[in-house]
Amino acid sequence: MNRLFTLMLALLSVAVSAQKRCGTNERIAQLSNDPEFFARHQAITRYLKDARMHQRNLSANMPNVTVTIPVVFHVLYKNNNQNISESQIESQLAVMNADFRRLNSDFSSVVPEPFQCHGADMEICFAKATIAPNGQPTNGITRKHVDEDFNLETQYYTEEGQPAWDTSHYLNVWIGRFPTFGYLGFATPPAAAGQAYDGLCISYKCVGSMGSAIPPYNQGRTIVHELGHYLGLLHPWGEDESSCGEMTNDDGLEDTPAINDPHFGCPSYPENSNMCNPDEHGAMFMNFMDYVDDACMAFFTDDQKSVAQATLAGPRSSLLGVREIISNSDILVYPNPADKYFVIHSDKTYVDKVEIYNANGQLKKEATLDKVENVIGLENLPQGVYFLRIYANGKFLRSDKIIKK
C-alpha cells in the first residue's frame, strides 16, 4: 500500500513538473488584443521604467515603511481535494510575508554569496481581508463548488466562478484546477488594475506548503512569483521572450543579468547556458522571477523592489487606501491618493501625532492628533509619495504610505 501511494505521489509530481510554470506572458498577450488595455500597458511600462530609477535613488533615505495589502482567496473546487483548507492558505501567507520581507530562512543557503548583496526587503506584507466589500467581517476566504466543465483559466472571475471583490482595494487570488497540462498560475499586470479580472489565478496543487501542494512546487513560491508580475516585474528574459541582442530580451533591470530562456529544476551555480553575457557568476536563476523549483528560488533584488514600490505608488496605489489590517491598531487613513488633505480616523486606538516624510526621507510636516477624525492639510506639499509615521501615547505605532496627487 505504501509503495502504491509513493508511486502515485511520484506520478503526480511528474505531472505537475510537466506543466508550464507561468502563464502571465500569454495572459498579457490575450489582454493586449483590447486596444485600451494595450495602450494602458504601454504607458505603465514607460512609467515604471522612469519611476524605477527615481525610486532606487531614494530608497536609501526613505523611512522604514512597510505596507500591508489585503488579500481575498477564492477557492473554486470540483472535489474535496481541491477545496483546500484554511491552514493551507495560512501556510501560503506565511511564505508570502517571509519572502517579501527577505525573512525566508533559506536565503543564505540558496542565494550564492556574490548575489546576496542584491537581496531586497520589499517592505510589503499581505494579510487576509477582515472586512468584506459589504462591510461585514470576513476571514478573507470564499468557497464555491463549480461544475465539472468549469475552466479556471477563462472563467475564474465570472458568475460561473467567483466574481472579484473590488480589485482596486483587494488583491484577489483565485485557486482551482487548471485544464490538464495547463499553467501553475498567472497574474494580471498593473495595467489591469481595477478590472473585474485583475488578480492571481493559481493551481490548487502549488498553494502553500501542505495539503494538496505537490513537489517540486510545494513551498508557496508560485504565488510569490505571480505576485511579482502583479506588482510590475517581468521574467529575466523579458515579456516577449526575445533572443539575446534584441532590445526587449530582458526585464530592463540592472541587477538581474539578462538571459534568453528560463531555468528549471535546481541548476548548479554558476550556470551560464542561458546567459546573454556569460561571466564568472552566471545567471541569477535563484531569483523569484525565474522558473526553478520552489526550493531553489529565494529572493528579489533592489531594482525589483524599486519597480514594485513604483507600482504601489502609481497604478496600484488604491490598494493602500483601504483599512490597513494590522494587529496593534484600528486606524483608517483616507482618501488615498489625496489632494488637499487626508484624514486619520481612529475610534479604538488613541493616537497623538503624525509625521509626514517625503521620498527623500525629509520630515516635511508634523501634526497633533486629538480627535477621532483628524484632518491633515497637504496644500503646501508638492505631488508625490509621502510616508507617515503615526504615534500613540508618545510611542511609534505604525507606518503608512500616501500619495499626494
Active centre residues (catalytic): 226
Amino acid identity at 354: V
Alpha-carbon distance of 89 to 104, in angstroms, equals: 17
Q: Do 241 and 291 contact (CB within 8 A), yes or no?
A: no
| Burial call 27-51: b when 16+ CB within 10 Å, e when fewer | bbeebeeeeebeebbeebbebbeeb
Residue with cell 489590517: 325
Q: Do 161 and 76 contact (CB within 8 A), yes or no?
A: yes
Query: Phi then psi for 202, rounded to 5 degrees?
Result: -135, 140
How open is the CA angle 104-109-293, to the nearest 5 degrees? Answer: 75
Longest dimension (CA), the chain: 73
Q: Do 388 and 364 contact (CB within 8 A), yes or no?
A: no
174 forms bridges with which residues in the sheet? 74, 201
